[in-house]
Amino acid sequence: MALLLRFVLLCGVADFARSLSITTPEQMIEKAKGETAYLPCKFTLSPEDQGPLDIEWLLSPADNQKVDQVIILYSGDKIYDDYYQDLKGRVHFTSTDLKSGDASINVTNLQLSDIGTYQCKVKKAPGVGNKKIQLTVLVKPSGTRCYIDGSEEIGSDFKLKCEPKEGSLPLRYEWQKLSNSQKLPTSWLPEMTSPVISVKNATTEYSGTYSCTVKNRVGSDQCLLRLDVVPPSNRAGTIAGAVIGTLLALVLIGLIIFCCHKKRREEKYEKEVHHDIREDVPPPKSRTSTARSYLGSNHSSLGSMSPSNMEGYSKTQYNQVPSEDFERDPQSATLPTAKFKYTYETAGITSGINMDY
């Protein structure tokens, strides 16, 4: 009886050994963002596995808020890789002959959303097998910037800072001095693996070039910093110069605004005066020009008369001069008598005639 039971057990073990099995062990894989992740899945078949071969990869997202998603499928000698939109075009089988026992895949251009548990399922009736692989996507340190926070003067306190733009935690920092004595101050040693070094009572011995290297499990990045500890500057003179420069700039701006405003006012005034003058109306005649015109018009008449009747004629004619051409000052009650001397030539004789008006 015992021998029979042993024989049955050995046959069962032999049958199990000959059934479909996935030889790749379960594992965890860490990759950097943007890289390609190789997810292995190799299997063996037994002679009893006569059914059609089906291979299926599923993703269980890390946030556990989504159900398992089929990301790629092989069935009926065809490949279907458009099930999961987030991985469309980025997941492929590595082997061109899946029946050879290799169902491994590549996931290209890794993103943080690709983090999760990937499961490989292989079925060839009656055999069935599956394995899980944990994929973690990390971000390499990049865009690291080194700078000094504070004044680089003798006796002052400041900080040396090292800040990566991105990078998955945990991050490790390493400071080094690249120039001069390359010997770091003893007080700095506890902070040589931190992103910030606090400098107290600085001296010129601290001057030099420093490097900061940032690392995580998938990569590293580095930046350089130049430190020059100098004597204190004349801050009062610097501040005074800045104030004076600011005031001069304000005065200059004020003058420019004033000149522009004045020019605009002058242009506006000229335009107003130009519109007020009517070019089609001639200017009024002066009193002197009116009197001269009147006398000139009677020149010929006076020249043909004799001295005996000139006095009477002149009085009569001047009485006809329009009053508007000889307006009198309203403030004066009487005007002094003006004398007018007219000279003419007749037959070579020159006479002078005094006329009152």
Say what the pLDDT of residue 210 is: 94
Residue 82 lies in a domain: yes
> Does residue 232 lie in a domain region?
no
Domain containing 148: what range? 142-227
Q: Give the least confident one: 185-194, 205-214, 257-266, 279-288.
A: 279-288
What digits encode the pLDDT tens for the residues 208-255? Answer: 999 999 999 999 999 999 999 999 876 556 677 788 889 899 998 988
The verdict on residue 187 lying in a domain is yes
Same domain, 133 and 216: no
Residue 201, pLDDT > 60, answer: yes
Report yes or no on 158 lying in a domain.
Answer: yes
Number of domains in the chain: 2
Residue 325 has pLDDT above 50, yes or no: no
Answer whether the bond into residue 164 is a cis peptide, omega within 30°.
no
| Residue 109 forms part of a structural domain | yes
In whole angstroms, give the CA distance from residue 229 to residue 207.
Answer: 6
Considering the domain architecture, whether residues 199 and 174 belong to the same structural domain is answered as yes
C-alpha to C-alpha distances, 139 to 90, 112, 164, 170, nearest whole angstrom: 18, 8, 11, 11
Please identify, among 103, 138, 173, the residue that sits at the C-terminal boundary of a domain: 138
pLDDT in tens, 106-146: 999 999 999 999 999 999 989 999 999 999 999 999 999 99
Tell me if 286 is assigned to some domain: no
Task: Evaluate whether residue 106 is within a structural domain.
Answer: yes
Residue 124 is predicted with a pLDDT of 93
Cβ neighbours of 311 (radius 10 Å): 13
One domain for residues 128 and 153: no
Q: 4 lies in a domain?
A: no
Q: What is the pLDDT of residue 233?
A: 76
Regarding whether 134 and 56 lie in a shared domain, the answer is yes
> Would you state the pLDDT for residue 34?
96
Q: What is the pTM of this model?
A: 0.57
Q: Find the mean pLDDT for residues 274-286.
A: 55
56 & 95 share domain: yes
Whole-number pLDDT of residue 130:
94
Domain closes at, from 192, 227, 262: 227
